[in-house]
Amino acid sequence: MRAVVQRVKSASVEVGSAVVARIGPGLLVFVGITHDDGADDVRYIAAKILDLRIFPDGAGRMNRSVVENQGSVLVVSQFTLYADCRKGRRPSFDAAARPESAEALYLDVVRLLGESGLTVATGVFQAHMDVALVNDGPVTMLLDSRRTF
C-alpha cells in the first residue's frame, strides 16, 4: 500500500459540480492499493499517517503529528500510485488492485484513521474527482507499507 501525504491548510474534493468533502488544516492523503495488500498494510499506513511528525512545534520544527495538532484528514483513493512508467510512454496499472478488493482496504484505512478521533473525510471511490488543496510548506511525504522507498 502506498500513500502520498500532504500537509495542507485546506483541501476539497468535487465530483461533477458538487463538493463532496472539505477539510481545513490537516492532511490530504492519496492511497493506492496493490494486489497482495492486507490488514498489516492497512495498519502500517494508518499508523504512519497519524504519527508522522510533520507539523511545526512552538520552535517551528516539524515535531507534531496531525493528532497532536487536532487536524483533519481527507483520504482519496488513487490507483495511479501503482503506475509503472518504466517501459514505453503509456503507464501500466497492472500492480494496482482490482476495485472490488481495493475498496474494502481503502475503507479500512479510513476507519482506522477515524478511530483516532480526528475528523476524516473521503473522496468517492472510483469516481473522477477534482481535488483542490493549499499545500502548507509545501510538505509532501511518500509512504509505502513494503518500505520500498
Tens digit of each residue's pLDDT (9 = 90 or more) over 64-92: 999 999 999 999 999 999 999 999 999 99
Mean pLDDT calculated for residue range 106-126: 98
First and final C-alpha spacing in the chain: 12
Residue 126 falls in the annotated catalytic set: no
CB proximity list for 30: less than 8 A, separation 6 or greater? 3, 4, 76, 77, 78, 81
Contact (Cβ atoms closer than 8 angstroms) between residue 76 and residue 82: no
Chain centroid to CA 6 = 8
Residue 79 falls in the annotated catalytic set: yes
- Classify the C-alpha dihedral 85-108-43-8 as positive or negative: positive
Chain centroid to CA 41 = 13
Mean pLDDT calculated for residue range 1-26: 98
| 72-77 vs 26-32, strand pairing mode | parallel
Residue among 78, 122, 126, 148 flagged as catalytic: 78
What percentage of the chain has pLDDT greater than the value 70? 100
CB proximity list for 108: less than 8 A, separation 6 or greater? 39, 42
CATH fold, domain 2-144, is D-tyrosyl-trna(Tyr) Deacylase; Chain: A; (3.50.80)
What pLDDT was estimated at residue 149?
84
Residue among 70, 80, 126, 140 flagged as catalytic: 80
Mean pLDDT calculated for residue range 17-31: 98
- What is the model's pTM? 0.97
What pLDDT was estimated at residue 21?
98
Residue 55 falls in the annotated catalytic set: no
Running DSSP on this structure, what letter comes out for residue 97?
P
Taking 90 as the threshold, does the pLDDT of residue 44 lie above it? yes
Average pLDDT, the chain: 97
